[in-house]
A and B are shown apart, each in its own frame.
Chain A
């Protein structure tokens, strides 16, 4: 064997993982999406239906709600999960805090808690007699003390809010890592020369952070398509599927004991998710490769 090809031997375990847990599921989802299977009957590929599962999805109101919700969720998170982390990172960086590391750790900590627990905590806080409503009542806003998770309008925004709440510290840590490469003396020199802090941020800091902002944006966008647990414990997609995301709708169609057990339709949603995520992950990877300074 040529010496360089020994590399394959080292890669063998990883290639096995790729085959079983990436290649096989991707292909299988696509094939499954062309069949109708209820998840129980012995023969899986007995009922070839062609593109009917996709047509069914396109005519399914729940699918469009899930798609719309995913779009709302992604949009909100992409804006605020970049803005807040960046803002807090800049404040911490320029604020000359004595306990910078402690503050950083405190803001970061929620990102480590399991989203299930975060969802449960918020489900309780937002319940009719939970903290949020108690606070609203205490400042006289009784009319706002509603059942936050029990109507069809607010839950999807609350889900987005909770996700932003949990992962703001995560993004902040990434931005702070980027900021740490900036020499504070340059900024000091600039301010001595009469530049305002705002000008400094615009001219010195933003160019350094630009690739990291793009990376964080892509990270938020990609991870947004795997959010599932928060919805599962908070609303279970309800009321009447109005807070469903693509991931939870996929679960509803496949494994939910109250669902219709349409594996083919669920596989169709999976194909859709896979395509989006793979495309953007590769874009993100190539972006990192180009920005060699990182």
Chain B
């Protein structure tokens, strides 16, 4: 391709540079704060690199959350992890089955189901709060992981079904004919052929679902009221609120403890995240 003109070169570089500053400076600055000694928080405030590096804030943050939020980071992470993994397992069982039905059978009401799938797209979690709260109260299951795991599937399964349906539709018909000649039933074909070759699509669904569930807030807030059951976003939301004040460097370290693991996961699966975003946004 033709080389950029000098003006275009300067313009594009400046744009991206400014964008990166605006997007990343807040995070970098919180990171810098988390590495400062308590009495150096306000020293050379605007500079990113602290005078003395210290990691003790991170250790204090662990103790601090345990004392003031009644739940430590390990437990928050465990709760979020249980809820996320369980929802993803449910999703990768339910969505392929449904997607297979949509792509393989011409049953009555198929178009209706399809429209309903579209209607559930990005449903606000808040509209589910009252009805589910009452249902859970009657069933006496408030404050159990199940109260969030089950409804989270309404956010993950429909889009996963659309992604997978597209993938199943793309499987050559001959493959199914061959399976039939070999005497395989539809279900065997689904299990032994359709699922194994859809692994990339299933991975896309998992990646797409992960941040939605991991970051979900309102349902976890209302249904998991007990301190020991709180997921990461719900537990951390109360930091520095109410009666007590959290020191800035401890606050910053706590934020980093929430961000760093996500950053590591992102770096490990970067391509997949970007693929998942695109698939979810353009298909669902």
Does A78 make an interface contact (CB < 8 A)? no
Given contacts A173-B277, A174-B277, contact A91 B124 (CB under 8 A): no
- Secondary structure of the B side of the interface? helix
Q: Mark A227-245, 1 if CB is under 8 A from B, else 0.
A: 0110011000000000000
Knowing A4-B106, A21-B154, A135-B46, say if A88 contacts B124 (CB, 8 Å). no
Selected contact of A226 from candidates B100, B126, B135, CB within 8 Å: B126
Is A17 within 8 A of B131, CB to CB? no
Stretch at the interface among B60-68, B90-98, B196-204: B90-98
Contact with B along A194-234 (1 / 0, CB 8 A): 00010000000000000010011001001101101100110
- CA distance in complex: A94, B194 (Å): 39
Nearest CB in chain A: distance from B35 CB, A: 15
Write out, one digit per residue, whether chain A residues 1-33 have a CB within 8 A of any chain B CB (1) or not (0).
Answer: 001111111110111011011101110110010
Query: A281 at the A/B interface (Cβ < 8 Å)?
Result: yes
In Å, the complex CA distance between A255 and B218 comes to: 10
> For A115, what are the chain B residues with a Cβ–Cβ distance below 8 Å?
215, 217, 233
**Interface status of B6 (Cβ within 8 A of chain A):** no
Q: Does B161 contact A (CB under 8 A)?
A: yes
Q: How does the 8 Å CB contact mask read for B194-234 relative to A, with 1 for contact and 0 for none?
A: 00000000000000000100110110011000000000111
Q: What's the nearest-Cβ distance from chain B to residue A179, in Å?
A: 11
Determine whether B274 belongs to the interface, using a CB cutoff of 8 Å to chain A: yes
Complex: chain B residue closest to A26, CB-CB? B127
Per-residue CB contact flags for chain B residues 167-199 toward chain A (1 = under 8 Å, else 0) read 000000000000000000010001000000000
Which residues in B have their C-beta under 8 angstroms from that of A41? Answer: none
Which of these binds chain B: A54-62, A121-129, A141-149, A152-160?
A121-129
Say whether A11 contacts B278, CB under 8 Å.
no
Q: Are A6 and B186 in contact (CB under 8 A)?
A: yes
Q: Is the CB of B121 within 8 A of A281?
A: yes
Q: How many residues of A contact B (CB 8 A)?
A: 101
Indicate if the CB atoms of A216 and B281 lie closer than 8 Å.
yes
Contact present for A91 and B12 (CB under 8 Å): yes
B23, A22: Cβ atoms under 8 Å? Answer: no
Query: Any chain A CB within 8 A of the CB of B105?
Result: yes
A95-113 interface bits toward B, Cβ cutoff 8 Å, 1 = contact, 0 = none: 1110001011111111111
- Contacts A134-B45, A284-B118, A288-B282 given; indicate if A229 touches B233 (C-beta within 8 A): yes
- Beyond A88-B16, A96-B1, A113-B259, whether A18 also contacts B273 by CB under 8 A is no
A215 touches which of B131, B222, B281 (Cβ 8 Å): B281
Knowing A112-B262, A115-B215 are in contact, say whether A21-B282 is a contact too (CB < 8 A). no
Q: Is B270 an interface residue (CB 8 A)?
A: yes
A49 within 8 A of B: no
B153 touches A21 (CB 8 A): yes
Which A residues touch B161, using CB under 8 A? Answer: 14
A8 touches B134 (CB 8 A): no
Given A28-B131, A96-B4, A255-B129, decide whether A105 and B270 contact each other with a Cβ distance below 8 A. Answer: yes
A73 interface contact, C-beta 8 A: no
B150: A residues at CB distance < 8 A: 17, 20-21
B113 within 8 A of A: yes
1/0 per residue, CB under 8 A from A, across B262-275: the answer is 11001000100110
* B30, CB-defined interface residue at 8 Å: yes
How many Å lie between the Cα of A18 and that of B150 in the bound state? Answer: 11
Residue B19 contacts which of A10, A17, A28, A88 (CB distance < 8 angstroms)?
A88
- Knowing A121-B26, A226-B122 are in contact, say whether A184-B282 is a contact too (CB < 8 A): no
Report if A177 contacts B (CB, 8 A).
Answer: yes
On whether the beta carbons of A229 and B23 are closer than 8 Å, the reply is no
For B161, B236, B278, which residue has the most chain A Cβ atoms within 10 angstroms? B278
| B139 CB, min distance to chain A CBs, angstroms | 11
Q: Does residue B120 face the partner (Cβ distance < 8 Å to A)?
A: yes
Pair A95/B4 contact, Cβ less than 8 Å: yes
Distance in Å: Cβ of A42 to nearest Cβ of chain B: 11
Nearest 8 Cβ contacts at the A-B interface: A285-B118, A7-B105, A95-B12, A10-B101, A28-B131, A226-B124, A25-B131, A14-B98
Using CB atoms and an 8 Å cutoff, list the residues of chain A in contact with chain B: 3-11, 13-15, 17-18, 20-22, 24-26, 28-29, 32, 44, 87-88, 91-92, 94-97, 101, 103-117, 120-122, 124-125, 129, 131, 134-135, 138, 165, 168-170, 173-174, 177, 184, 188, 191, 197, 212, 215-216, 219, 222-223, 225-226, 228-229, 232-233, 247, 250-251, 254-255, 263, 266-267, 270, 273-274, 277-278, 281-282, 284-286, 288, 294
A–B complex contacts, Cβ < 8 Å, 21 sampled: A5-B105, A7-B102, A10-B100, A11-B97, A14-B95, A20-B135, A24-B131, A91-B12, A95-B4, A114-B233, A117-B255, A165-B22, A174-B281, A188-B2, A215-B282, A226-B125, A229-B217, A247-B126, A250-B129, A274-B123, A281-B118
